[in-house]
Amino acid sequence: APISPFIAGLPKAELHMHLEGSLEPETIMRLAARNGVRIPYANAEELRAAYSFTDLQSFLDLFYLGLTVLQTGEDFYEMTKSYLDRAAQDRVRHAEVFISPQGHLRRGIAMGTVIDNILRAFDDARREHGMTGGLIAGIQRQFDEEEALSMLRELRPWRDRIIGLGTGGPERGNRPAKFRRAYAYAKHDLGWRTTIHAGEEGGSDFVCEAIDELHVDRIDHGVRSEADPNLMRRLAETGMPLTVCPCSNIMLRVFPDMAAHNIRRLHEAGLCLTVNSDDPSYFGAYVNENFASIQQALGFSDADLWGFARNSFLSAFLNEEDRARHL
Ligand code: ADE
Ligand code: ZN
C-alpha cells in the first residue's frame, strides 16, 4: 500500500519489533561473508525468495538462521543503528525493541558484546535523530525456565539500562505460566516492565493466563482474544495495550488476508491498540507500511490512525523525562 503524507508525518512509537528481524537479506549475506558464517543461499535474492511462510515456525527457522551472522560488537551496533535510522525516516520517535539474548549466548557470544553495542546505537540515535528508545530482553520460550532465569541473572549488571522482559519463539506448547518465576524475577528483582507474545498462534486462554498469572503490562499480538467475550470486556475496561502487527499476521497466516484481519473489530470493541512491524525485513513491511495496509484494506480514518499512534506513546515503558518529551 502507498504511504500517505499523513502516515509518513505521523509521530509514532514502535513497541513490537525484534532487532534480529530487521536484518535485510543483503546485510545477512554481507555479514556472513565478513564473518565466515555459512548461509545456505547463493545470494540475497535467493534468501529473500525463501521468505514465504506457512506459519510461525517456518518463519522462526529462517529468523534463527539469519541471526547466526551476528558475531562482533560492530555487527550488533550496525544492525541496531540501521533499524533506528530507518525508523527515524518513518517518523518513529520512540522505539522499544526486543532482542533474543539466548540466540546469541548459545553461540558463545558474550552478553556484553550484545547489550553494550545495541545501547551504543540507541545513544547515537538519540543524539542524531532525537529518538528515545528501550531494549526489551526476550525469553526464547522453546527453552526451559532455568535457562531464562540464568539469562536474567546475567543481565543484572544492565538492569537500569534495559526496560523490560518479553518473549519470542513458538507460542504453541509453551504457555505463559511456564515462565512464572522469570516474570516475577524481572518485575520484582530487576524492576522491569513486562510484556509477552500471547494470542498470536496460541488461544485466548494464553492471554488470560498472561494477565492473571504473569501480571504483564502489555500483550504482544493478542488478536486471538476475540474468541473470548469476557476477556474482550476485560481488555477494554482495563485499557490493556495490544501491540498488533498486521503485516506479520498476514505473512504468518494468522489471517488469510488484510481484509480478513480483525483489528477493526478489536478497535470497535474499545481495545487499546498499537500498530507495529514485528520483523520488518522478513515481512517486507516497516511500521508505515503496516499503517498504510490496514487503512487501505479496512478503511480506517486518519483520526483512527492518529489514535493508534497516540496509544503507542501512552502504552510505552517511558521514564518520566522521556514521557514529558513525547506527551
Ligand atoms: N520472534 C520474532 N518474531 C516473533 C513473533 N512474531 N512471534 C514469536 N516469536 C518471534
Ligand atoms: Zn513478535
Which of 53, 136, 197 is the pocket-test mutation for ligand 1 (most atoms within 8 Å of CB)?
Answer: 197
The CA distance from 141 to 254, in Å, is 19
**Side chain identity, residue 227:** A
Q: What CATH code is carried by the domain that includes residue 75?
A: 3.20.20.140
Q: Is the CB of 168 under 6 A from ligand 1?
A: yes
The CA distance from 153 to 88, in Å, is 33
What's the pLDDT score for residue 64? 98
Specify the pTM: 0.98
By C-alpha distance, which of 86, 96, 200, 76 is closest to 138?
A: 96
Q: Is the CB of 63 under 6 A from ligand 1?
A: yes
What's the pLDDT score for residue 63? 98
Question: With pLDDT > 90 as the criterion, what percentage of the chain qualifies?
Answer: 100
By C-alpha distance, which of 192, 309, 177 is closest to 244?
A: 309
Q: What are the phi and psi torsion angles at 115 (to 5°)? A: -75, -45
Give the model confidence (pLDDT) of 263-285 as tens digits. 999 999 999 999 999 999 999 99
State ipTM: 0.96
Give the model confidence (pLDDT) of 52-97 as tens digits. 999 999 999 999 999 999 999 999 999 999 999 999 999 999 999 9
Give the model confidence (pLDDT) of 125-165 as tens digits. 999 999 999 999 999 999 999 999 999 999 999 999 999 99
Q: How far is CA 154 from the centre of its chain?
A: 22
The CA distance from 43 to 28, in Å, is 10
* Nearest ligand for residue 282 CA: 1
Residue recorded with cell 511456564: 178
* Nearest ligand for residue 169 CA: 1
Q: Which residues pair with 13 in a beta bridge?
A: 94
Nine cell digits for residue 104: 546469541
The CA distance from 168 to 241, in Å, is 18
Q: What is the DSSP string of 145-209?
A: HHHHHHHHHHTGGGGGG--EEEEES--TT--GGGGHHHHHIIIIIS--EEEEEESSSS-HHHHHH
The CA distance from 120 to 165, in Å, is 20
Q: How far is CA 39 from the centre of its chain?
A: 24
Question: With pLDDT > 70 as the criterion, what percentage of the chain qualifies?
Answer: 100
Residue 34 structural domain: 5-326
* Pairing status of strand 241-244 against strand 193-198: unpaired
Catalytic residue among 200, 201, 209, 289: 200
Q: Is the CB of 279 under 6 A from ligand 1?
A: yes
Give the max Cα distance, the chain.
53
What's the pLDDT score for residue 308? 99
DSSP state of 284: T
Residue identifier of the C-alpha nearest atom 10 of ligand 1: 168
| Number of domains, the chain | 1
What's the pLDDT score for residue 51? 98
The CA distance from 28 to 69, in Å, is 6
The CA distance from 205 to 199, in Å, is 8
